[in-house]
Each structure stands twice: as structure tokens, then as C-alpha cells.
Amino acid sequence: MTAFQSAEKSLQDLLSLSGPAGRAGVNVIHELLRQPTSSFEMGVNGGTPIVFGWTNPLAAGRPAYLHRCLMSVVDNAPEDRDGFFTIAALTNGLLIELTDANGDVVQNWETDAAPIKRHVQFASLAGPDIVPDAGAGVSAYGMRWTFSKGTGRPLLVEPGGTFRISVRDNCCAILEWRTSIQGYY
């Protein structure tokens, strides 16, 4: 098998049920992060922090393995190169955390010490793809954070654990901002 064929098969495994997700007893996870009200649009006023997350249900009775986090932002404003996508840099920034079933933070990717305030800071975690002019005055941004790139394995989320992003600033001016996670049980 050539390197290209191997890469193509790996991609097919990740995007279909022919890889780990296709094995008996394994379920695919592809979920938008949501706040408790079920909203998934992250362009909110986080003056009072608003948490978007995904929780591994206790009823699952087994750990979940998150492969990646995907973020997309689309706006009809130009990129603010020193800001947070199309708005000014955030004052308080985003917190990205993994909690256990008790709500205790077990991993925070140092965002408590250095929260993400500018979109270029995602580069410390992931490979951001920035398309400042996607045509017709639309700016588009994509970020793919593959957890195994830094650790060599997927992110383990025990039953009751939550992967979450806390928005702590007013981001209402962002037209569309969604984040999802992908993985398997």
C-alpha cells in the first residue's frame, strides 16, 4: 500500500463506519458543543460566562475517545488581524477545559493562565485555516484541533466528563460561530 493509499484509507476510516466506529459495540460521536439551553451558536454575550460543551453520558457506562475539535466562524465583516476573528481582541478570553463527572477541571490546556483572546492564539492548539475574504465580503475561518497530534492518542472523556468552551466576552457581533467534536465510544 502506498503512502497515499494509506492516508486515503485513514481518512475514509475517520469519515465512515469502516474504521474504529464500524466495529461492533463502537458508536460514532459527532456533536455540536451546546449550552444548557441547547443553543449551539457561540456568538453570544458572555459578559456572564456562557459554557458550550459536550458531556459523555453516565448511561454510556464507558469512556469516550475524542479525536478532534472543529470550529468554524463565518462573518460578513473583515478579519481583525489583532482581534478575535472579526471583532476586537477579547478582554477575558475563552477557557477550554475537560471536567470529570463532579465538574472538577482535569485538563485546561493552560487557558486559565493564558485564555484565548485573539484567533491567532488557536495556533498554539491547532491548525487554523483563515480565509479573510471568502468572496462577496464574507470572511471564513476554520480550525481543526486533532487531540492525538499533541499526545499521540485521542482525548479520553470518562462517563459524566465534559469537554467545554466558556465564552466570557460579548461576541454577539459574530454572525455564525459553531464548534463540534468528533470521536467514538
State the Cα–Cα distance between residues 89 and 39, nearest whole angstrom: 24
**Residue 150's Cα: distance from chain center in Å?**
15
β-partners of residue 84 are 87
State the Cα–Cα distance between residues 137 and 118, nearest whole angstrom: 21
State the Cα–Cα distance between residues 72 and 38, nearest whole angstrom: 18
**Predicted pLDDT of residue 44:** 93
State the Cα–Cα distance between residues 36 and 52, nearest whole angstrom: 8
pLDDT tens per residue, the chain (185 residues)?
544 344 445 444 544 433 454 455 568 999 999 998 889 999 999 989 999 999 999 887 899 999 999 999 988 888 888 999 999 999 999 999 999 999 999 999 877 788 999 988 888 887 666 555 566 777 888 888 888 887 788 999 999 999 999 999 999 999 999 999 999 98
Whole-number percent of the chain with pLDDT over 70: 81
**Predicted pLDDT of residue 17:** 39
Class of domain 27-184: mainly beta
Residue that is written with C-alpha cell 465512515 in the block: 16
Q: The whole model's pTM is what? A: 0.82
Would you say 147 and 154 are in contact if contact means Cβ atoms under 8 Å apart? yes
- Phi, psi for residue 121 in degrees, rounded to 5: -70, -15
State the Cα–Cα distance between residues 15 and 49, nearest whole angstrom: 33
The tens digit of pLDDT for each residue in 87-138 reads 999 999 999 999 999 999 999 987 778 899 998 888 888 766 655 556 677 7
Strand ranges inside the chain, DSSP E: 28-32, 50-55, 64-75, 95-99, 105-107, 127-131, 139-146, 155-157, 162-167, 176-184
What are the DSSP calls for 34-48, one per residue?
B-TTS-----SBTTS
